């Protein structure tokens, strides 16, 4: 091993790379991490963390309104975007420093600059060559922008976090996590917000009831939802921008944010020249232990375009460190990964949708509850919480848990533990609720709303 400068050279100090580097160093490996942009990657800088801070900020708008019927007199309200962005930036800088300390503290060398793979064991950063027994590609992803005329006028989530002012009118293109989260953020802060999605109903791939419920609740909060809306061009107008749809509709905005997915960040890395196989989307193809087509090059996180979630990237980082430096071939168990969209209201889920369960299970029993949360009986807010349990009838196993409502992410995390442990509906029934909470509904649902054998569903 000493023939190389390092045992492991990690390219990219995001969630995946940092965790892999730290763990590898803790197992005694000599590790370097190259990072060209910012420590902490997408999640820390232009993803999960700043997004959640902005989502908190947006929610205050409702909190002030809701307080009134609880007896509070709330004075004049004014939202100041630059204050929020400055405080957010300060927190992100603090986190960047924490990542630096943690890596250095673990004995990892941080190399600033863009790395390029020059051969299966070598990378070049800023004109200097470094060698390692194993190279680990953890460069993440980058937002894609549809190839339409005027695309140079739009922004992506990367820029949305650094706008100098809150736009008065925002059009958001897309119907996935980023689009819906930013719709809630801009709408909550008072911008006139339109979400344009190309299909008939956003959040494709999630449970049908949840998608319909989300559309209802998001619209109630004031976001203008335009479905079956294919944006074909963007033009600069005298007083802002316009997005033109395929049917000729024109949407006016000051800012147009495209949130249309992310692509693996592989450009200029030298992967193809080195002989590393990429798939059609440009993602590094890896086996179950994250090894690429070259035995000395591994890849984890969004650059492999599997499950684009930070905790998954972190788990992959730990797995690859164990595989390489503890001699235990490890891969992540991708079953039942819980997820939350930090929209307004939140939506969380773990396991199968009803549609998937009907295809995959031996009979399905569905429990569903839609209700107004206790808080809103006094606040007067017309917000409905939705909870849904999907049970495999033959085994009584809970195979899907879905929630739209406040703190859905916090609640679904616990449900995910129950599902990992193989909980049955009878276990949910035997669990005493915590009263009064919304979450107790998950352990008190007794009457199924639908029952079907797979053949009946077909």
Site for ligand NDP, rule CB under 6 A: 146, 173-179, 181, 197-199, 204, 259-262, 308-309, 339-342
Nearer to ligand NDP, 325 or 342 (CB): 342
Smaller CB distance to ligand NDP: residue 29 or 179? Answer: 179
Q: What H or E segment, with its residue span, contains residue 315?
A: helix 310-325
Nearest distance from residue 299's CB to ligand NDP, in Å?
Answer: 17
> Strand pairing partners for 195?
172, 225
Closest separation in Å from C-beta 158 to ligand NDP: 11
Task: Report the nearest approach of ligand NDP to the CB of residue 231 (Å).
Answer: 7
Nearer to ligand NDP, 195 or 297 (CB): 195
Nearer to ligand NDP, 167 or 174 (CB): 174
Q: How far is the CB of 371 from ligand NDP (least distance, A)?
A: 24
Task: Please report how close the Cβ of residue 8 comes to ligand NDP at its closest, in angstroms.
Answer: 26
435: annotated active-site residue: yes
- Cβ closest to ligand NDP, residue 89 vs residue 230: 230
Residue 182 vs 290, nearer CB to ligand NDP: 182
Helix ranges (H only) for 136-283 are: 157-160, 177-188, 208-220, 271-274
Return the C-alpha torsion angle 355, 231, 404, 313, nearest 10: 80
User: Taking the complex as a whole, how short is the minimal distance between the CB of residue 111 and ligand NDP, in angstroms?
Assistant: 27
Q: Which residue is nearest to ligand NDP (CB)?
A: 176
In the bound complex, what is the minimum distance in angstroms from residue 404's beta carbon to ligand NDP? 14
* Residue number with CB closer to ligand NDP (93 or 204): 204
d(CA 183, CA 186): 5
List residues with catalytic annotation: 435
């Amino acid at each position: 091993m000493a023939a190389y400068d390092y045992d492991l050279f990690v390219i990219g100090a995001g969630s995946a790379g940092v965790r892999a580097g730290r763990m590898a160093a803790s197992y005694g490996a000599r590790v370097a991490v190259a990072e060209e942009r910012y420590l902490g990657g997408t999640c820390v800088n232009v993803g999960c963390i700043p997004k959640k801070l902005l989502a908190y900020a947006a929610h205050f708008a409702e909190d002030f309104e809701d307080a009134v019927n609880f007896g509070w007199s709330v004075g004049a309200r004014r939202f100041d975007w630059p204050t929020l962005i400055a405080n957010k930036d300060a927190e992100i800088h603090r986190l960047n420093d924490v990542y630096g300390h943690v890596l250095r503290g673990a004995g990892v060398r941080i190399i600033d600059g863009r790395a390029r793979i020059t051969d299966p064991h070598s990378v070049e950063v800023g004109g200097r060559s470094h060698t390692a027994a194993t190279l680990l590609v953890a460069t993440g992803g980058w937002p894609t922008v549809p190839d339409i005329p005027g695309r140079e006028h739009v922004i992506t989530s990367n820029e949305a976090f650094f706008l100098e002012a809150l736009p008065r009118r925002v059009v958001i293109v897309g119907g996935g996590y980023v689009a819906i989260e930013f719709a809630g953020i801009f709408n909550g802060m008072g911008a006139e917000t339109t979400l344009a999605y190309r299909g008939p109903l956003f959040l494709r791939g999630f449970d049908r009831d949840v998608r319909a419920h989300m559309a209802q609740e998001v619209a109630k909060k004031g976001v203008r939802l335009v479905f079956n809306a294919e944006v074909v061009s963007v033009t600069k107008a005298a007083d802002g921008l316009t997005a033109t749809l395929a049917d000729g509709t024109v949407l006016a905005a000051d800012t147009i944010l495209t949130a249309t997915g992310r692509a693996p960040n592989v450009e200029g890395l030298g992967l193809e020249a080195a002989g590393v196989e990429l798939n059609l989307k440009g993602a590094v193809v890896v086996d179950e232990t994250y090894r690429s087509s070259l035995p000395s090059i591994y890849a984890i996180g969004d650059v492999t375009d599997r499950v684009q979630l930070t905790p998954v990237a972190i788990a992959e980082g730990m797995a690859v460190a164990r595989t390489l430096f503890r001699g235990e071939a490890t891969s992540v168990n991708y079953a039942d990964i819980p997820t939350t969209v930090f929209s307004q209201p939140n939506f969380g889920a773990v396991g199968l949708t009803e549609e998937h369960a009907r295809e995959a299970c031996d009979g399905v029993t569905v429990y569903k509850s839609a209700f107004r949360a206790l808080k809103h009986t006094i606040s007067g807010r017309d917000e409905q919480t939705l909870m849904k349990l999907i049970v495999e009838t033959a085994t009584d196993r809970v195979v899907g848990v879905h929630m739209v409502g406040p703190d859905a992410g916090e609640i679904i995390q616990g449900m995910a533990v129950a599902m990992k442990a193989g909980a049955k509906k009878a276990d949910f029934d035997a669990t005493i609720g915590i009263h009064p909470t919304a979450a107790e509904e998950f352990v008190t649902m007794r009457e199924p709303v639908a029952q079907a054998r797979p053949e009946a569903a077909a």
